[in-house]
Structure 1
Amino acid sequence: MIKEFHNEDAQKLADMMNASDEAWPGGFTHGMDFTAEGLLEDRKRENTLATYCAWDDAAIVGIAEITEFWRDTNVLYVDFLNVVPTHHGRGYGRDLLITCVEKATQLGSKRLDLHTWSGNMKAVPLYKKTGFFWVPKTLVYMRNFLPLILNLQVARPFFQKHNWYATFKRELEVEEDDFNGVYPYHWEEDGDILHIVIDAESGGVTQFENNDFAISQKVGPAFAGEESSVTWEIRNKTPTPLDVAVISHGDEGITIDFRDSFTVSDTKVVTATVSIDPDIEIRKKEEPPHQLMTDVIVNGRVLPLVSGLRVVHGVQVTTFPEYVVITPGEQCITVILKNNKHVQVEGMITCYTTGESHPFSISPGYSEGIPFSFHAVTDCELQFVVENSLPVHTVPVRVTTGGAVIMQKGKEVILENLQARIIVSLAGGKTSVYDKNTHETVIKFVSDELGPPYWPSELFKTPYTVRMQQRNGKVRAEFTAYSKKHSTTLVRRLEMDAGPMIKMEYSFTPQRDVYVQFGGETSGAGGILTLPLKEGFVSEPTVEEDFPLGHGDLPENPGAYKEQWMCYQEDESAFGVIWEKCAKINLRSYSFPGIIMDTRNLHPLYLYVGRGTWKDVRKTWSMLHNVTAPPAEPQGIWSVNPSLVMTAEDMITAHFTLSNRRKRPLKGTVNTQPFQVSRGSPFVFEATFETSDIGIAKQSLQVETDLFSREIPVTVVRAGKKESKVLLDEGGTIQVDNGLYRFEVAPSYYGSVIFWGTDVNHLLTPYPEIKQLGWLRPWYGGIHPIVFAEKRDFPGRMHKEDFSYSITERKVHDISWKGVTVTSTLQEIKGIQVETSYLTTGYSNILAICHTLKNLTSAPHSLYSGMSFYVQPDGSLANATLYYNRPQLVQRKRTPYGGASVCREWAAVQGSSTFLTVLGNSIYTLDMEKDGAHVFTPQKRNIPGNSQVSEFNYVVAARSLEESQAYRVLRDLQWD
Structure 2
Amino acid sequence: MIKEFQCEDAQKLADMFNASDEGWPGGFTHGLAVTPERVLDNIKETNAVSIFVAWDRGKIVGYADIMEFWRDFNVSYVGLLNVMPTHHGKGFGRELLKACVEKAAQLKYNRLDLHTWAGNMKAVPLYKKTGFFWVPKTTVHMKNYLPLIFNMDAAEPYFEKHDWYKTFKRELKVEEDDFKGIFPYCWEEDGDVLSVAIDTESGRVARFENNQFVVSQKVGDAFAGKSVKVTWTLENKMKSPLNVTLIARGDEKITIEKNESIVLEGEHVITGEAFIDPDIEIKKKEEPPHVLTTDVVINGVSLSLGSGLRVKQPIALSTYPEYLFLPRGRREILVVLKNNQKITAEGVITCQNTGEFHPFCINPEYTEAVPFSIEVEDCELQFAIEGEKRIHTIPMQLMTGANVMQKGKEVVLENNYSRIVVSLSGGETTIFDKKTKKVWAKHVEDELGPPFWPSEFSKTMYTANTGYKSGKAVAEFTARSKKYDLRLIRRMEMDSSPVVKVHYRIIPQKDMSICFAGGGRMDGSILTVPLKEGIVSEPFMEDIFPLGHGDLPKDASEYREQWMCFERDGSVFGLIWETCAELDINESGFPHMTMSGGAVKPFYLYVGSGSFKDVREAWSRLHDKKVEEEEPVGIWEVTPPVLLCTDDCTQDMVIASHRGKPLKGTVNKKPFDVKRGSPFTFKTKFDKLELGVNTKYLEVETDLFCKKVPVSVVRAGKRGDTQIRIREKDIIEIDNGLYTVKVAPHFCGSVIFFGRDSNNLLTSYPEPTQFNWFKPWYGGIHPTIFAEDEFPGRMHKETFAHQIIDFQKCGITWKGCKVTSTLQEIKGLQLHTSYVTTAFSNVLVVENTVRNLTSAPFNLYSGVFFYLQPEGSMKEATLYYYQKDLYERRRTPYGGWIQCRDWAAVKGKKTFVTVIADSIEIIDFGEKGAHFFVVKEVEIAPREEVTSVLYCAAADSLEQSQQYKVLRGIKWI
TM-score tier (shorter): 0.7 to 0.9
Task: Give the match's secondary structure for 2:15.
Answer: helix
Letter in 2 for 1:124: V
d(CA) in 2 for partners of 1:330 and 1:656? 67
Please name the residue that 2:59 is paired with. 59
- Indicate if the aligned counterparts of 1:691 and 1:697 stay in contact, CA closer than 8 A: no
Please name the residue that 1:409 is paired with. 407
Q: Give every structure 1 segment of 4 or more consecutive aligned residues whose post-TM-superposition deviation is greater than 4 Å.
A: none
Please name the residue that 2:649 is paired with. 652
d(CA) in 2 for partners of 1:439 and 1:246? 54
d(CA) in 1 for partners of 2:331 and 2:688? 69
How far did 1:693 drift?
A: 3.5
d(CA) in 2 for partners of 1:597 and 1:197? 46
- Indicate if the aligned counterparts of 2:551 and 2:659 stay in contact, CA closer than 8 A: yes
d(CA) in 2 for partners of 1:506 and 1:599? 10
d(CA) in 1 for partners of 2:322 and 2:256? 34
- Indicate if the aligned counterparts of 2:224 and 2:314 stay in contact, CA closer than 8 A: yes
Q: Report matched runs for 1:319-718 at 5 Å.
A: 319-376=319-376, 378-401=377-400, 403-471=401-469, 473-649=471-647, 651-715=648-712
Letter in 1 for 2:361: S
Question: What's the % identity of the aligned pairs?
Answer: 55
Please name the residue that 1:84 is paired with. 84
Letter in 2 for 1:389: E
Task: Give the match's secondary structure for 1:468.
Answer: strand
Letter in 2 for 1:535: E
Matched, 1:102 2:102: yes
How far did 1:643 drift?
A: 0.8
CA deviation string 1:750-797 (max 9, x = no partner)? xxxxxxxxxxxxxxxxxxxxxxxxxxxxxxxxxxxxxxxxxxxxxxxx
Task: Give the match's secondary structure for 1:697.
Answer: coil
Task: Give the match's secondary structure for 2:137.
Answer: coil
**Segment of structure 1 superposing worse, 688-697 or 224-233:** 688-697
d(CA) in 1 for partners of 2:540 and 2:361? 48
- Indicate if the aligned counterparts of 2:2 and 2:52 stay in contact, CA closer than 8 A: yes
Please name the residue that 2:942 is paired with. none
- Indicate if the aligned counterparts of 1:316 and 1:339 stay in contact, CA closer than 8 A: yes
d(CA) in 2 for partners of 1:661 and 1:162? 58
d(CA) in 2 for partners of 1:368 and 1:539? 46
d(CA) in 2 for partners of 1:605 and 1:253? 43
Relative contact order: is structure 1 or structure 2 higher (C-alpha 8 Å, sep ≥ 6)? 2
How far did 1:559 drift?
A: 1.3
Structure 1 unaligned spans of 5+ = 716-976
Letter in 1 for 2:76: L
Task: Give the match's secondary structure for 1:154.
Answer: coil
Structure ID, larger Rg: 1
How far did 1:672 drift?
A: 0.7
- Indicate if the aligned counterparts of 2:505 and 2:599 stay in contact, CA closer than 8 A: no
Letter in 2 for 1:129: K
How far did 1:246 drift?
A: 0.6
Letter in 2 for 1:678: K
How far did 1:591 drift?
A: 3.4
d(CA) in 1 for partners of 2:355 and 2:663? 68
Task: Give the match's secondary structure for 1:525.
Answer: coil
Evaluate the alpha carbon distance shift between residue 528 and residue 335 of structure 1 in structure 2; reply closer, same or farther with a 3 A threshold.
same
How far did 1:211 drift?
A: 1.0
Letter in 2 for 1:467: N
Letter in 1 for 2:524: G
How far did 1:443 drift?
A: 0.5
Q: Report matched runs for 1:256-335 at 5 Å.
A: 256-335=256-335
Task: Give the match's secondary structure for 1:50.
Answer: strand
Matched, 1:253 2:253: yes
How far did 1:471 drift?
A: 4.5
CA deviation string 1:77-96 (max 9, x = no partner)? 00010000000000000000
d(CA) in 2 for partners of 1:710 and 1:532? 25
**Segment of structure 1 superposing worse, 390-399 or 99-108:** 390-399
d(CA) in 1 for partners of 2:255 and 2:615? 55
How far did 1:463 drift?
A: 1.4
CA deviation string 1:578-620 (max 9, x = no partner)? 0011111112112311111112141111000011111110010
CA deviation string 1:507-555 (max 9, x = no partner)? 1111112100001000113211100001111111111112111211110
d(CA) in 2 for partners of 1:677 and 1:134? 44
d(CA) in 1 for partners of 2:334 and 2:649? 70
- Indicate if the aligned counterparts of 2:346 and 2:361 stay in contact, CA closer than 8 A: yes
How far did 1:473 drift?
A: 4.2
CA deviation string 1:917-943 (max 9, x = no partner)? xxxxxxxxxxxxxxxxxxxxxxxxxxx
CA deviation string 1:927-961 (max 9, x = no partner)? xxxxxxxxxxxxxxxxxxxxxxxxxxxxxxxxxxx
- Indicate if the aligned counterparts of 1:42 and 1:551 stay in contact, CA closer than 8 A: no
How far did 1:330 drift?
A: 1.0
CA deviation string 1:798-825 (max 9, x = no partner)? xxxxxxxxxxxxxxxxxxxxxxxxxxxx
How far did 1:407 drift?
A: 0.6
How far did 1:351 drift?
A: 1.0
User: Aligned-pair RMSD on alpha carbons?
Assistant: 1.0
d(CA) in 1 for partners of 2:244 and 2:568? 64
How far did 1:694 drift?
A: 2.8
Letter in 2 for 1:418: N
Letter in 1 for 2:694: A
- Indicate if the aligned counterparts of 1:533 and 1:562 stay in contact, CA closer than 8 A: yes
Task: Give the match's secondary structure for 2:590.
Answer: strand
d(CA) in 2 for partners of 1:124 and 1:287? 26
- Indicate if the aligned counterparts of 1:242 and 1:298 stay in contact, CA closer than 8 A: yes
How far did 1:205 drift?
A: 0.2
- Indicate if the aligned counterparts of 1:525 and 1:590 stay in contact, CA closer than 8 A: no
d(CA) in 2 for partners of 1:186 and 1:318? 43
d(CA) in 2 for partners of 1:596 and 1:471? 28
d(CA) in 1 for partners of 2:690 and 2:544? 44
How far did 1:254 drift?
A: 0.8
Letter in 1 for 2:201: E
Q: How many residues align?
A: 712
Letter in 2 for 1:68: E
Task: Give the match's secondary structure for 2:284.
Answer: coil
Task: Give the match's secondary structure for 2:620.
Answer: helix
CA deviation string 1:332-370 (max 9, x = no partner)? 111111111111111111111111111111111111111
CA deviation string 1:805-853 (max 9, x = no partner)? xxxxxxxxxxxxxxxxxxxxxxxxxxxxxxxxxxxxxxxxxxxxxxxxx
Letter in 2 for 1:391: R
d(CA) in 2 for partners of 1:63 and 1:313? 46
d(CA) in 2 for partners of 1:5 and 1:526? 39
Task: Give the match's secondary structure for 1:125.
Answer: helix
Letter in 2 for 1:688: K
Task: Give the match's secondary structure for 2:29.
Answer: coil
d(CA) in 1 for partners of 2:261 and 2:40? 58
Matched, 1:219 2:219: yes
CA deviation string 1:654-685 (max 9, x = no partner)? 21111111111001111111111011100111
Task: Give the match's secondary structure for 1:621.
Answer: helix
Structure 2 unaligned spans of 5+ = 713-973
How far did 1:699 drift?
A: 1.3
d(CA) in 1 for partners of 2:97 and 2:273? 42
How far did 1:25 drift?
A: 0.4
d(CA) in 2 for partners of 1:375 and 1:464? 33
Please name the residue that 1:137 is paired with. 137
- Indicate if the aligned counterparts of 1:283 and 1:311 stay in contact, CA closer than 8 A: yes
Task: Give the match's secondary structure for 1:153.
Answer: coil
- Indicate if the aligned counterparts of 1:526 and 1:541 stay in contact, CA closer than 8 A: yes
How far did 1:472 drift?
A: 6.0
CA deviation string 1:246-274 (max 9, x = no partner)? 11111111111321111110111111110
